[in-house]
Structure 1
């Protein structure tokens, strides 16, 4: 059997001994070998192994890696691999003995990254009701101030204009004070009611904002959404990731390939440890066999950081299959014995011993979350609009005064 190792050369020491040490390296190769060794013994055959550092792709008309070993007769079969039509003249695919998945793994981006959280605390009906009540309050304060002006006016009293009434209402909406206020008891009661009601809304609004700043979104579920997002797209630094992205010609996968390997700049390929750390930091999608990534996630992530993990499948392929040399005299024997391994539960037992499933979110706990400029983008944009409007008003006032 040709065994593909890509994580660590120490696999060449641990795999023949089956000591289950360093399970984080080449776990699928070890599972495949354990199952094939049992299959050989069931066939009363002597298990022998060789090692290869590549799965096998055609380059300049020549096969490389594991497929080259099978094609040359150095090996009768190889490690589980994804079915590829280019390899069909060389090998026949039999059964799967170590199912694995190759996907993009990432944490869902924070909610402020995909939505304006400053409009989310209240529904649209509440915002409309708030606007209507503010206008109604402004009109009521305007009537009260008009009545007060008829009975005398002090320097800090409202002038009885609609502009002053709107200014007082906007001061209440933004929880700011106003230098001008009613002097009579009726107007003061109106102002007290407005400030009290808006203070309760302001408290509810602030509490919701704090929660939403730390909440993950649920925005990315498909390959198209991932391609159109601003998340960094990267892949594990292994040979198959340098080949499979070039096999697909649809626009979405071409877009992902261009982001992974841009024409200018550095290609986004990382080792497992660095890739998982970048996943933990967020806004980073990492393409790899998922189980080694999950093993590292279990070792390094906090509990609340496991709750927003997401997978997106790029290849849309079937389970990997064992390649056997085409027209091999052992083909039917291996097919039968692989089925027996599956039916007897040996394959499942090997898989459960050496693999780590997707981390479960057992419970969510609150934690400190820093707020960056990106989270406050809607507020900063609103401030820029306000500055622009105020400058325009100043220009109009100066023009009106001179005219």
Structure 2
């Protein structure tokens, strides 16, 4: 081919470090062009290098045949948002301008504009860059290689996309990853491209030599262009891959049923704290002793004639039945009055506490992880590798939570939630997966009893593609537009299970049999003791009746 001469005008939008160095530019200008790039140290032929093909405007002057130059550039790495203008001098006064663009380095250039003009008008014509952003992007139905990751369900091929987008098909299966793919489907329609889709079962890890395995490795090696699935942004991954704008903020949480205050065997004890109960017992003892003291000074008392009588009178006041006695002296009446008033106030506070617990919903006793760790609630987690890894972290909160793990703490999802339903157990897992499982296992009323506690900060989930991909900005712009226009919010409401919004209602919550256990226990103990005392009294009475006969004989 004949000689080239180039003049380069370069406006760079990304970081300044991506601009061409003078030495590289000199090497490019003096490169010997052939019909292919093999064995040639040509700057534009380095497909793996992401510098130069993104967000540049190229102005190339040549006196060679335009089609020959275009054929050479077909082999280069000039891609979609590179604005290339070829200028060919046909004679001394006329230049031919050819504007080139293509959306992918494997496709051919398109020629959107081809015109001639006088040299004096060059500056005016080349000052307007090609506009590719927004809805003007058109990949001309190009089929990109991409991977998805579906561990469940039958969503492996492009033909499965209609079923994937239909929530009624396999409901509750892979909701998160299906939610992630729906915006991709919109982008396919918006930018006019298709996918050659492969389902991969392994995300991949970083090897000691620095390379990646699994889906990450396939994207890094450019075996595929995109990874359209939910991936956590990890520092090791960011070194090798670029990620989309975040789609959702995911969290690891504890789910538990708050400990019940009423309706349990301790329902008649919980209105008072332990210190209040001890103070009440002390008050009862003081009142019994006071009753016994005044009995020795007031002979008019008929029932307060012993320690047993004093106890009976005090307990009569506790049960709001009054004191079955009368007194002559003012001191005795004062003691009776103080006893009745003090016991009335205690009973009033107690009854109000029980009534409040039955009618007015009490605040959750466990509202954060610190309260969970301090309670008698056991802790377990879903039997997954990433859950075990989370619970093995060495921050102070995780260490304290790890000390609360029950024996055999890692359970399958169904078994763990059944244990949560029984109470006194908190189950650790991924928020979205827990909500899906809870929706299937719990009734609407039971779901309103579930509390969620977050132990560590949430993390972002995004799509991923190769480092410095020229398509990253276009796809991110499309995703941001969908979020700004409310599409993403709608998809989140549609695909992701939301925490139920439960409003507290002032409904009476009846005490069932377990809630009256203490009362029944007191009754049973009293009956047993009364029978034992009655038998003892009968035996004693018979013995005393036989003694006079023995003495008379």
Tell me if TM exceeds 0.5: yes
- Please tell me whether Structure 1 or Structure 2 has the larger radius of gyration of its CA atoms: 2
**Alignment partner, residue 142 of structure 1:** 293
Give distance in 1, aligned partners of 2:433 and 2:510.
27
Offset from partner CA, 1:123-166 (integer Å, 9 cap, x none): 989997996698468536633x22344x7x98x6515xxx6686
Which of 270, 273, 276 is the aligned partner of 2:412? 270
Establish whether residue 352 from structure 1 lines up as the match of residue 503 from structure 2. no
Contact in 1 for aligned 2:380/2:427 (Cα 8 Å): yes
Establish whether residue 9 from structure 1 lines up as the match of residue 146 from structure 2. no
Task: Tell me: CA distance 1:133–1:104, structure 2 relative to 1, closer, same or farther (3 Å).
Answer: closer
- 1:316 positional shift: 0.2
**Alignment partner, residue 118 of structure 1:** 269
Give distance in 1, aligned partners of 2:369 and 2:339.
49
Which of 219, 222, 237 is the aligned partner of 1:73? 222
Contact in 1 for aligned 2:298/2:327 (Cα 8 Å): yes
RMSD: 4.7
Contact in 2 for aligned 1:81/1:323 (Cα 8 Å): yes
**Alignment partner, residue 109 of structure 1:** 259
Task: Tell me: CA distance 1:196–1:234, structure 2 relative to 1, closer, same or farther (3 Å).
Answer: same
Establish whether residue 50 from structure 1 lines up as the match of residue 198 from structure 2. yes
Give distance in 2, aligned partners of 1:370 and 1:5.
49
Alignment of 1:143-292 (within 5 A): 143=294, 145-149=295-299, 158=305, 167-168=311-312, 170-172=314-316, 175=319, 194=339, 198=343, 201-202=346-347, 205=350, 208-209=353-354, 212=357, 218-246=364-392, 248-257=393-402, 266-271=408-413, 273-292=414-433
Contact in 1 for aligned 2:419/2:425 (Cα 8 Å): yes
TM-score, normalised relative to structure 2: 0.53
Give distance in 1, aligned partners of 2:197 and 2:402.
35
Give distance in 1, aligned partners of 2:450 and 2:186.
36
Higher helix share: 1
Offset from partner CA, 1:80-109 (integer Å, 9 cap, x none): 322211212221223023444432222222
Offset from partner CA, 1:329-380 (integer Å, 9 cap, x none): 322222222222222322222222212211121344536656489x97xx99
**Alignment partner, residue 394 of structure 1:** none
- 1:33 positional shift: 0.8
- Structure of higher RCO (CA pairs closer than 8 Å, 6+ residues apart): 1
Give distance in 2, aligned partners of 1:368 and 1:100.
39
Give distance in 2, aligned partners of 1:275 and 1:244.
17
Task: Tell me: CA distance 1:369–1:299, structure 2 relative to 1, closer, same or farther (3 Å).
Answer: farther
Offset from partner CA, 1:47-72 (integer Å, 9 cap, x none): 23222334444477775554344334
TM-score, normalised relative to structure 1: 0.69
Comparing 280-289 with 296-305, which one deviates more in the overlay?
296-305
Comparing 10-19 with 226-235, which one deviates more in the overlay?
10-19
**Alignment partner, residue 19 of structure 1:** 166
Give distance in 2, aligned partners of 1:88 and 1:332.
16
- 1:206 positional shift: 5.4
Task: List runs of 5+ in structure 2 lacking aligned partners.
Answer: 1-145, 526-553
Give distance in 2, aligned partners of 1:123 and 1:235.
33
Contact in 1 for aligned 2:254/2:452 (Cα 8 Å): yes
Give distance in 2, aligned partners of 1:249 and 1:338.
36
Task: Tell me: CA distance 1:104–1:157, structure 2 relative to 1, closer, same or farther (3 Å).
Answer: closer
- 1:184 positional shift: 5.4
Give distance in 2, aligned partners of 1:351 and 1:218.
28
Give distance in 1, aligned partners of 2:388 and 2:284.
61
- 1:73 positional shift: 3.3
